[in-house]
Amino acid sequence: MNIKKTSCIYLLIAFLIALSCSDSSDSNENVVDNFDRQTILENVTDNIILPAFDDFNPKIAQLKESITQFSISTTLANLETVQELWVDAYKSWQHLEMFNIAKAEELYFLQKMNTYPTSVSRIENNINTNNYNLDSNNNNWSAQGFPALDYLLFGLADTNSETLIFYQNDENLAYLNYLQAVASQMLQVTDMVHQDWILIRDVFVTSSENSATSSLNMLTNDFIYYFEKGLRTNKFGIPAGVFSGNNTRAANVEAYYNSTISKTLALEAIEAVEGFFIGQTYNSTSTGESLKSYLDYMTDNTTLSSTVLMKFSDSKLLINTLDDNFVNQIVLNNELMIDVFNKLQEGVVLLKTDMLSVLSISVDYIDADGD
Amino acid sequence: MKIYYNSIKLLVASMLIATNFSCSSDDDQVITTPNEVIAPDTYVFERQGESTVSYGGQTARLDMAASLFGKLNDENVDGASLLQMFEDGTGFTAEDGASQDQIDAINALNSSGKKLGNKTAAYGDASVQPKIAGFLTEYAENVSTNFNVDAGVGVSGSHTGSGGRTVRINEKGMELNQVFAKSLIGALVMDQVAYGYLSEVKIGDDVDNDASALGAGEYTTMEHHFDEGLGYVYGQESDITTASTPQGNGILFNKYLKKVNESEEPGLATEIYDAFKLGRAAIVASNSEVRDEQAEIVKTKMSRVILHKAAHYLRGAAEAKAAADVDYADYFHGLSEGYGFILSLQFTYDADGMNYFSHSEVETMLSTLESGNGFWDRTPSELDDMAAQIEAKL
């Protein structure tokens, strides 16, 4: 099919040239791509990815440690410590989810850390049977990571004191064990992905050519995929019912059981997206080479990159008007959730169509339209 | 690229000019018909200033399908409850966390008096309606009960693919919510339009279309029948005047009309909308010829959506199955959609007023898909062959 089509086009081209059409040069092609793409990889790796892992990995270690403490001593203070560390780590995670590349991709880091909605039924089943493999059974992706902890820390009862009573009950010892198993798994995978980044850093940053498997092309694709799927679809589209015939799916809100933080997580995510685009050092305001500077170089102006940044800031403005708790927002006025989705979609078009065309990078994934 | 397109345009333009010059013009005499039909800009028809267009019953049924679809991914659902929703049009419940508006909407469905069951495959082979109802009970009895079982060959349950999709499948790998929804696209929407509301029995010359005694906002029987047909296609659009570019709302035909219009066949949605518009105007003008022409356009063009998507999902499944590392969740999902669209083929309508594939041809394809261990056993070449068979009709 494709071959046929292509040869038809070639025939047509040959035919038209034979007709001696005059040619005119396309202004875009006048810009020769002399941009040093490796500088983007160096900046992103050294100033975003590695520092983000340096921040995240200890947070997960602390979270795991706090869960161990809680299982030794089921006090309210210990429960609250676990909950706070969970929130803190979940916020940091928003800065890493987009880097679904190398070891992270191989180990299904993203799927293991943040598949939501979590499957309560599967978690309960795992706990009851005490026969489960969190590491190598895909079916358990929805029974681990931040969303599973969300359920185990906030979803078992309405209040913390009731949750505490639940865990203090000897009959529920299996829940404490599962809590620890989930935390161990999270730390184990995080350690592996983090260590691998340190190991592959030099090789990664030198793979800057323009090919389907080069670091920059994959990173750029992962970034756009995250923007489209992780941010637009998962955080807004699906819960707002965009992919379910306008039937809202509040249970699909990220951090559903502690949904007062859903807006915080979404804002972290869009900060992360913006930071990556402009090459901003993690937890700092300084910037370096990035997709933005590359884009500005190729277009010889800042028109397109400013339009992209405008979409980011417009999206943030819209998100800021939402209730802190997206579950409430969906019930109160879902239209505002859809407004954010639509604004983010405008960003998707700019990044996926306009930016990739200027940078001559091919899309390596199929539309994530939820179907 | 641009240059070539422009050159083509020039080429075509010059050919047209040449054609114009070389043709003698004997076709500019004005042919007057007794009742000239002028389509309005949008699907707005009024009598004495009030709209005569109404299709609330169709919207209700489309909403029911969406609600029922939502239940087919839940654990331990009750088969009798699903059948009650399908056959009686009652017992619908709002999703957890639904807004008051949504709860009100569900309550309105329950008291609408409409139902899906008696409109499903109403003009088709008698075995189809029970088959579709059977998807509901099968989900309840064999799949939703195995929610935490890892699905495998001959084992129903859940399966999460490497891409992150989770499907609830029967022992043959069929995702029944997809099978159910895509089957209704033909068995409900296409069947009701092509063999019901836009057929001779409902809009033929014997049907009442005398508007002489009608007051503001009142419609003739024929007008209403035509609008009911329209309702199955556009009943969930928020604004019928912009439906020429479909919103893709709901889970049935409109959703796939939008997709086909955006990829396989741009312009198809406008052709269908325009034909509805002109056909309805023809009814107002009592012009049977134009009415029937436009009804034929609606029915044949709508059929193309089903043909396109049946082939599309088979091709997609073939590609997924051929991958080095098969994502079985994506594969089962896509092939289940394909299965439903194939079932729908028997409700299509071609230029001769026949279905593109007969009931028995469809049954043969479906049993091929289900043979042995069902979807687990299918090979890319089997699926590609079937797709080619369908594409040949396009």
What is the arithmetic mean of pLDDT over A116-143? 95
| Number of residues in chain A | 371
Would you call B151 helix, strand, or coil by DSSP? coil
pLDDT recorded at residue B2: 39
Q: Is residue B207 part of a domain?
A: yes
What is the arithmetic mean of pLDDT over B18-28? 43
Query: Which chain A residue lies closest to B93 (C-alpha atoms)?
Result: A247
CA distance A138 to chain B (A): 5
pLDDT recorded at residue A32: 61
Contact residues on chain B for A338, CB-CB shorter than 8 A: none
Buried b (16+ CB within 10 A) or exposed e, B47-78: beeeebbebebbbbbbbbbbbbbbbbbebebe
Find, among B193, B192, B147, B201, the residue nearest to B169 by Cα: B147
Q: pLDDT tens-digit profile of B161-197?
A: 988 899 999 999 999 999 999 999 999 999 999 999 9
Find, among A289, A340, A300, the residue nearest to A38 by Cα: A289
Q: Is residue B151 part of a domain?
A: yes
DSSP string, B225-247: HHHHHHHHHHTT-S-GGGTTS--
Best A110, A114, A138, A335 member to test B by mutation, with max B CBs in 10 Å, is A138
| Whether pLDDT at A51 is above 50 | yes
% of chain A at pLDDT higher than 90: 84
CA distance A259 to chain B (A): 12
ipTM: 0.77
Instruction: Determine whether the interchain pair A331/B97 forms a contact, defined as Cβ–Cβ distance below 8 Å.
Output: yes
Best B7, B312, B313 member to test A by mutation, with max A CBs in 10 Å, is B7
* Residue keyed to tokens 């810009």: A31
Q: pLDDT tens-digit profile of B296-329?
A: 999 999 999 999 999 999 999 999 999 999 999 9
Q: Within chain B, what is the greatest distance between any pair of CA atoms?
A: 75
Domain of B381?
A: 145-394
Q: pLDDT tens-digit profile of A284-339?
A: 999 999 999 999 999 999 999 999 999 999 999 999 999 999 999 998 999 999 99
State pTM to two decimals: 0.83
CA angle centred on A276, ends A274 and A278, rounded to 5°:
70
For residue B33, name the pLDDT band (cuts at 50, 70, 90): low
Residues with Cβ < 8 Å from A170, sequence gap 6 or more? none
Q: pLDDT tens-digit profile of A236-261?
A: 999 999 987 778 899 999 999 999 99
Report the mean per-residue pLDDT for chain B. 92
CA distance B360 to chain A (A): 29
For residue A12, name the pLDDT band (cuts at 50, 70, 90): very low
Which of B75-79, B101-105, B327-331, B387-391 shows the lowest per-residue confidence on average (mean pLDDT)?
Answer: B101-105
SS3 content of chain A, % helix, strand, coil (to 5): 70, 0, 25
- Tell the burial category of B40 from Cβ atoms under 10 Å away from its Cβ (0-12, 13-18, 19+): middle
Instruction: Determine whether the interchain pair A139/B102 forms a contact, defined as Cβ–Cβ distance below 8 Å.
Output: no
Find, among A185, A186, A166, the residue nearest to A176 by Cα: A166
pLDDT recorded at residue A3: 43
Size of interface A-B (CB pairs under 8 A): 77
Among candidates A13, A137, A141 on the partner chain, residue whose Cβ is nearest the Cβ of B4:
A13
Interface of A with B in 249-308 (CB under 8 A): 249-251
pLDDT recorded at residue A150: 98
CA distance A59 to chain B (A): 26
Find, among B115, B105, B107, the residue nearest to B57 by Cα: B115
Q: Is residue B326 part of a domain?
A: yes
Q: Is residue B120 part of a domain?
A: no
What is the arithmetic mean of pLDDT over B244-273? 96
Instruction: Determine whether the interchain pair B148/A121 forms a contact, defined as Cβ–Cβ distance below 8 Å.
Output: yes
Instruction: Determine whether the interchain pair B160/A141 forms a contact, defined as Cβ–Cβ distance below 8 Å.
Output: yes
pLDDT recorded at residue B197: 98
pLDDT recorded at residue B10: 42
Report the mean per-residue pLDDT for chain A. 91
For residue A204, name the pLDDT band (cuts at 50, 70, 90): very high
In Å, what is the CA distance from B357 to each residue of B193, B347, B349? 17, 8, 9
| Whether pLDDT at A188 is above 90 | yes
Instruction: Determine whether the interchain pair B99/A26 forms a contact, defined as Cβ–Cβ distance below 8 Å.
Output: no
For chain A, the domains span: 34-208, 209-371
Residues with Cβ < 8 Å from A79, sequence gap 6 or more? A70, A153, A160, A163, A164, A167
Question: Is A34-208 in CATH node 1.10.3720.10?
Answer: no
pLDDT recorded at residue B319: 96
Which of A254-258, B98-102, B248-252, B260-264 shows the lowest per-residue confidence on average (mean pLDDT)?
Answer: B98-102
DSSP string, A53-74: HHHHHHHHHHHHHHHHHHHHS-
What's the structural domain count of chain B?
Answer: 1
What is the arithmetic mean of pLDDT over B41-56? 97
Residue A16 forms contact with B (CB below 8 Å): yes
| Whether pLDDT at B12 is above 50 | no
Give the dihedral sign, CA A95/A97/A100/A102: positive
| Whether pLDDT at A19 is above 70 | no
pLDDT recorded at residue B378: 98
Chain B residues with at least one Cβ partner in A under 8 Å = 2-4, 7-8, 66-67, 69-70, 75, 95-100, 102, 147-148, 150, 158-162, 164, 166, 236, 249-251, 255
Q: Please tell me the distance from the alpha carbon of residue A85 to that of residue A76, in angstroms, as a whole number.
A: 14
Q: pLDDT tens-digit profile of B122-163?
A: 999 999 999 999 999 999 999 999 999 999 999 999 999 988
